[in-house]
Amino acid sequence: MKRWHWISLAAVMIGSLILERAAVHHTSDYWWSHIPGLYGWLGFLGCIGIIVGSKLLGRKWLQRGEHYYDGE
Amino acid sequence: MASELMLHPAFLVLLGVALLPLLPSRARGKVLPLFPLAALGVCWNLSADHGFSVEFLEYRLSILQVDRLSRVFGIVFSLIGFAGGLFALHLRDVRQQVAALLYAGSALGLVFSGDWLTLFLFWELTALSSTVLIWSRRGTGSRVGLRYLLVHLFGGSLLLAGILGQVQATGGIALQLLEAGRVSSWLILGGIAVNAAIPPLHAWLADAYPKATVTGAVFLSAFTTKSAVYLLARVAPGWEILITLGVVMALYGVVFAVLANNIREILAYHIISQVGYMVAGVGIGTPLALNGSVAHAFSHILYKALLFMGAGMVLQATGRSRLTELGGLVGKMPLTLGLYMVGAFSISGFPFFNGFISKSMVVSAALDARYPAAYLLLLLASVGTFLSIGLKLPYFTWFGRSRPEVGVSRPPLNMHLAMGLLAVLCVGFGVFPSLLYAELPYGASYRPYTVPHLVESIQLLAATFFGFWWFRSKLAGQATLTLDTDWFYRRPAGWVRRCLVDGVSRLFDRADAGILTGIGWLAPRFRNPALWFGRGAGGEQGPAISGDDPDATRPKLEFAVTLILLSVLLFTAMAILQ
């Protein structure tokens, strides 16, 4: 990733936050719908949660050697 | 009758099944896409409420019944049949070509069926024809194909049992909404759940699709699961249990795709995940949600076929499909990467790609219908989709560690053309959503390009990228196998074989050996009855007689013959005296 890639991404993210504050009127009555940058948090924390959770599940329980079923 | 059949999209494709083997092998590949193309033309011109039926025993079979729901599925099935045929244009394997056409024709027949019996016939034909596409892959294909077939025969049996119950309960065979209070309804739902790959009945998909042929996987990705979604929308809209199952599917596929090492297995798990959105939409049951499910099935067929084409081209060009064996292909396959990324952006729900205009319908419908947990969890699943399909797979295949030892062969032009066609459609429907919305069956309006939707997508996707970049080393492929629910029938398979096959086989072997020993013991005694009385010259092994000279034993028989004759006389005398 080059520097300008990061700058562009940051600009897009900040632009979406500004747009959210200026033009999005939350009409939903759920408490979480009023969190600023809700979808950014969901994306970032959700991504990390999926990676860590899946890997933990795999290491502790689900992952086996590639030849696990060879004797079937 | 014949003219009506010629205007049935399925029979047009099935005509290809009959004609293709008669053509010269060089022409077959070029002719194959023409049959689905003709079916597409017919589908496009079919008007709602058009249909015809035939008498069969005491029933009337609705072979063609058109409404807006079946028409939109017919259009996309024909379209993908054409694109898949174009992708396989170079193929010279008549078995695969016929199986692919039979599969496409059966799927079309299924969505235009107006009764349970016709539907069941086409349902089973899709199972059989798709199995051939797995068997056609050399190596592991035969064993995987057998597992695939057995699971689908099980699903078909559930469906048939449900249909018989349904026919008995209603007194007719017409397709109609299922009633929750009937056992037959749950049996039908179980049969559909197998084909829709609803956990825990889903493992066949991730087991079989990665092992299908390169061209066969494109067809497989389109028909079986989406036919099941069609049937769910037809007979079980608004069944709330489907919301839970759909959300579980969406997340289940995400978790297993993170663990998968094979690129086509990653895509297969994301079929389960994406079908989860459609199943959840059917469960929500509002017109917007049902339209969302249908629209997402339409979009999904296009971008998933594109993704399977991209992964298939990597496999064809390099002979590899494991992330642990791939990397650095960007310089060698840049066009494939570009076209693959159109599919990846579509499935991830990027604005101006077709996944955005359909997935957001289901997600919005969940919030509108006041299912907030489903709404948030479906958004979480879309984070996982971008993570695996949009980032992990392309990063470790085309970027990542370069592997100079991996040779890349040049793929045929038609494969790129087919990918290009689907990429254009993905972008076209994304930019002009009304083209798709105009064909949807239920009356609900939806505007995808609003500021809240755009903000939601941009934040979700950009933040997912940050998370991926931070943790990307943890996503590198690992040479492992991930246990899934197929463990329950694959792991005991050896034990079952030992008990029910090997054990019985051993018993037969021993019985066989015992009989041979018995025959070996009896044969000399019948040849020389004197041995029964221990008078053989050779003792237990029998006398040393010449088989050519029966006189050699004759003197030794006199005692036995006399005894037998006397016995006969004695018994005869007793019988006369009585």
Using DSSP, state whether A8 is helix, strand or coil: helix
Distance CA B410, CA B417 (A): 14
Pairs of CB atoms within 8 A across A/B: 142
Residue A11 lies in a domain: no
Task: Give a yes or no: residue A55 inside a domain.
Answer: yes
Residues 6+ apart with CB under 8 A from B572: none
Q: Which of A12, A25, A32, A50 to mutate to test the interface with B (most CBs of B within 10 A)?
A: A50
Q: Do B462 and A9 make contact, defined as CB atoms within 8 angstroms?
A: yes
Q: Which residue of A has its CA nearest to B496?
A: A72
Whole-number average pLDDT of chain B: 93
Domain annotation covers residue A59: yes
Interior/surface letters B451-470, b for 16+ CB within 10 angstroms, e for the rest: ebbbbbbbbbbbbbbbbbee
Instruction: Give which of A47, A59, A63, A69 to mutate to test B binding, by max B Cβ within 10 Å.
Output: A47
Q: Round to whole Å and give the CA distance between B310 and B313.
A: 5
DSSP B507-557: HHHHHHHHHHHHHHHHHHHHHSGGGGGT--TTGGG-----TT-GGGTGGGG
% of chain B at pLDDT higher than 90: 80
Partners of residue B460 in chain A, C-beta under 8 Å: 39-40, 42-43
In a domain, A22, yes or no: no
- Write the residue in B384, B451, B480 that is nearest to A23 by C-beta: B451
Burial of B450 (0-12, 13-18, 19+ CB in 10 A): middle
Helices B94-111 and B214-235 cross at an angle (nearest 10°) of 10
Q: Are strands B51-56 and B480-482 parallel, antiparallel or unpaired?
A: unpaired
**Contact residues, chain B, for A38 at CB < 8 Å:** 459
Phi first, then psi: give them for residue B518, nearest 5 degrees: -60, -45
pLDDT digits (tens, 9 = 90+) for B539-550: 445 455 555 565
Q: Which two tokens stand for residue B482?
A: 């991930």
| pLDDT tens sequence across B484-537 | 999 999 988 888 888 888 888 999 999 999 999 999 988 888 888 888 877 665
Using a pLDDT cut of 70, give the percent of chain B over it.
95
Give B44's strand partners. none
Q: How confident is the model at residue B67 (pLDDT cuts 50, 70, 90)?
A: very high
**pLDDT class for A1, splitting at 50, 70, 90?**
confident
pLDDT 10s digits, A12-68: 999 999 999 988 876 678 999 889 999 999 999 999 999 999 999 999 999 999 999
Phi, psi at B322, each rounded to 5°: -95, 140
Which A residues in the span 21-60 are in contact with B, Cβ-Cβ below 8 Å? 23-24, 28, 30, 32, 37-48, 50-55, 57-58
Q: Using pLDDT thresholds of 50, 70 and 90, give the confidence band for residue B58.
A: confident
Are B389 and B480 in contact, with CB atoms under 8 Å apart? no
Cα–Cα distance, B470 to A48 (Å, whole number):
9
CB of A70 within 8 Å of a chain B CB? The answer is no
Q: Confidence class of residue B3 from pLDDT cuts 50, 70 and 90?
A: confident
pLDDT at residue B252 above 70? Answer: yes
- Nearest-angstrom CA–CA distance, B252 and B250: 6
Considering only CB atoms, A43 lies closest to which of B463, B484, B491, namely B463
Band (pLDDT 50/70/90 cuts) for residue B1 is low
Task: Dump pLDDT digits (tens) for B405-432.
Answer: 888 999 999 999 999 999 999 999 999 9
DSSP calls for B423-483: HHHHHHHHH-THHHHTT-SS--------HHHHHHHHHHHHHHHHHHHHHGGGGS--SEEE-
As a whole number, mean pLDDT of residues B283-292 equals 98
- Per-residue confidence (pLDDT) for residue B533, from 0 to 100: 78
Taking residue B208's Cβ as centre, other Cβ atoms within 10 Å add up to 27
pLDDT of residue A50: 98
Amino acid symbol at B133: L
Helix, coil or strand: residue B362: helix
> pLDDT for B73-126, tens place per residue?
999 999 999 999 999 999 999 999 999 999 999 999 999 999 999 999 999 999
Task: Tell whether the model's pLDDT for residue B443 goes beyond 80.
Answer: yes
Residues of B in contact with A62 (CB under 8 A): 259, 482-484
Q: Which residue of B has its CA nearest to A10?
A: B462
* Record: contact B451-A24, CB cut-off 8 A: yes
The answer, yes or no, to whether residue B564 has pLDDT greater than 90, is: no
ipTM value: 0.96
Whether residue A7 lies within 8 A of chain B, CB to CB, comes out as: no
Range of the domain at A58: 37-63
**What is the model's pLDDT at position B534?**
72
- Dump pLDDT digits (tens) for B382-407: 999 999 999 999 999 999 888 888 88
CA distance A5 to chain B (A): 12
Q: How many structural domains are present in chain A?
A: 1
CA angle B411, B392, A7 (to 5 degrees): 110
Asked if residue B351 has a cis previous peptide bond (ω within 30° of 0), the answer is no
Q: Which of A4-8, B150-154, B162-166, B530-534 has the lowest average pLDDT?
A: B530-534
Q: How far is B463 from chain A (nearest CA, A)?
A: 5
CB atoms within 10 A of CB B365: 26
Selection from B73, B51, B81, B74 nearest residue B63 by Cα = B51
Q: Kindly state whether residue A49 falls inside one of the protein's structural domains.
A: yes
Task: Give the residue on A whose Cα is nearest the Cα of B385.
Answer: A47
Nearest to A39 among B387, B456, B469 (CB): B456
Q: Would residue A57 count as lying in a domain?
A: yes
pLDDT in tens, B349-376: 999 999 999 999 999 999 999 999 999 9
Judged by a CB distance cut-off of 8 A, whether residue A8 touches chain B is: no
| Contact flag B490-A12 (C-beta cutoff 8 Å) | no
Domain for residue A20, yes or no? no
- The answer to whether A30 contacts B465, with C-beta atoms less than 8 Å apart, is no
Q: CA dist B184 to B114, B159, B374, B484, Å? A: 18, 9, 28, 28
pLDDT computed for residue B143 by the predictor:
87
Residues A10, B405: Cα–Cα separation, whole Å: 38
CA A1 from chain center: how many Å?
A: 19
